[in-house]
Structure 1
Amino acid sequence: MTGFTADWVIATLDGAEGENWRECADVLYCTLPCPPAEAWLLAGLVLRRYPGCVLALVPRVDGGCVVRVRGGLTAGAAAAATDGAGPVR
């Protein structure tokens, strides 16, 4: 999916969009999950390869997600409990 709002251009890394969309995107995300270490590495490589990108998101195979922001902030989100029994860490 590629789209834009009034302020952001969003594109997928592994979608059918052309490289032109990825080069001007503010937010890039991957749809295919990766192992945690690879997801962290891929998100960093995305920020390095696409200097206009400020937010990179890569899902992990364990159900979590790696989020890296230009400027150094890195977050890892665990998968949410499907039964509602516990908090999301």
Structure 2
Amino acid sequence: MKQELVSADERWHISRSQKGKTPSQFFLSNHDLLLTPHGIGTNYVQCFETFISNCDDFMEKLAGIREEAQKHLEWLKTAEEKRLEDEGLAD
């Protein structure tokens, strides 16, 4: 079985696959991060300068996306705890 889920803003993609009775495997990606840092220019110096600048931009973007993912993880954990409490299965 294969399943692809995409967020409403199409930035987050999660693929789920399962073969037979094996546990499901999930793969999560964020499309904002698909283009890695790169350098462009008319000479080697410009390529390295734009690459370094692009790395700084990428690190800022990565930090923001990591924070967004952390908040979603906390929401998922809270929802799971509530579900278990509602079903009387909490510790």
Q: When the two structures are superposed, what TM-score results if normalisation uses the length of structure 1?
A: 0.30
Q: Which has the higher strand share?
A: 1
Q: Which has the higher contact order (CA 8 A, sep 6+)?
A: 1
Structure possessing the higher radius of gyration over alpha carbons = 2
